[in-house]
Amino acid sequence: MSYNLNKIKKSFSSIIISLLISPLFGFQSVTALEPKGIAKDYGIDLQNPVTDVAKDVYSMHAFVTIIMALITLLVLGLLIWVCYRYSAKKNNKPSKTVHNTLVEILWTAIPVLILVVIAIPSFKLLYKQDVIPEPDLTIKAIGYQWYWGYEYPDNGNFSYEAFMVQSKDELEEDKPYKRMLTTDTKVVVPVNKIIRMQVTAADVLHSWAIPAFGVKTDAVPGRLNETWFKAENIGIYYGMCSELCGVNHQSMPIEIHVVTQEDFENWVEEAKTKYASKNNLLANN
């Protein structure tokens, strides 16, 4: 009896809670973004690719993994066969053969051919990553020990920094909290637009990397590196500094919000005023 009563109480309270929450969710679904480019617990695969380059990286990885698996199985099979067929027990009189021209040519030529088969799509992909198509927007990322700075030269030239958020309580805006990945500010880009990322550093080597975009570019002091991406899905994507840069290397994540053109323009207007006072301060100093 008491069990039933508890059950009724529980289901009643869950109805009340969902009634209270549902308008909230209804409101949020208009603007709230979901974290998409993020590692999954116990995951072993690459992250879901959301750019053309990342998709090619994904299939290149699968292609090489299949070749690698086949070679490994072949070598394992050969070893097992040799252990069995040419064991001392089965060969009282060991063979004196030291050369076999045909076998030697084959085990040189076949691996060379396999490497050529891997190299051709690999060079194609390198070229695709390297040559930046006509960009719609340029953003500059600057690596510091230990945070990233961003500049939007095409949209009023405002700049700001992105520091890792230590706990959920530190969040200043309504967005999901992901441990070691969420930053106080964020990089915002429009969906389906070609973004040219210029990457540099102010102190030591860093690397600006977003796995879901297939992007990883070294940030080198005194040098301006470039990369590009065209994100095809709205959502939040995370990345990290990927070049060991000192004691807080793990504390400089990258959080990118891919939004509609309209949301992007709204954010730019907001950012212009939000980060303007800071820029003026810097200019006056």
Residue 239 beta carbon to Cu ion: minimum distance, rounded to whole angstroms: 11
Could you report how far apart the first and last alpha carbons of the chain are, in Å? 74
* Cα 178 from Cα 255, distance rounded (Å): 10
Residue closer to Cu ion (CB basis): 49 or 183 = 183
Residue 147 beta carbon to Cu ion: minimum distance, rounded to whole angstroms: 9
Residue closer to Cu ion (CB basis): 245 or 256 = 245
Residue 211 beta carbon to Cu ion: minimum distance, rounded to whole angstroms: 16
Residue 256 beta carbon to Cu ion: minimum distance, rounded to whole angstroms: 17
- Count of beta carbons in the 10 Å neighbourhood of residue 67: 14
For residues 190-213, one letter each, b for 16 or more C-beta atoms within 10 angstroms of the residue's C-beta and e for the rest, the string is bbeebbbbbbbbeebebbbbbbbb
Residue closer to Cu ion (CB basis): 206 or 230 = 206
Residue closer to Cu ion (CB basis): 243 or 263 = 243
- C-alpha 31: how far from its chain's center? 23
Residue 188 beta carbon to Cu ion: minimum distance, rounded to whole angstroms: 21
* Cα 49 from Cα 192, distance rounded (Å): 14
Residue closer to Cu ion (CB basis): 142 or 231 = 142
Residue closer to Cu ion (CB basis): 241 or 256 = 241
Residue closer to Cu ion (CB basis): 54 or 252 = 252
Residue 275 beta carbon to Cu ion: minimum distance, rounded to whole angstroms: 22
Binding positions for Cu ion, rule: CB under 5 A: 206, 241, 245, 252
Residue 177 beta carbon to Cu ion: minimum distance, rounded to whole angstroms: 22
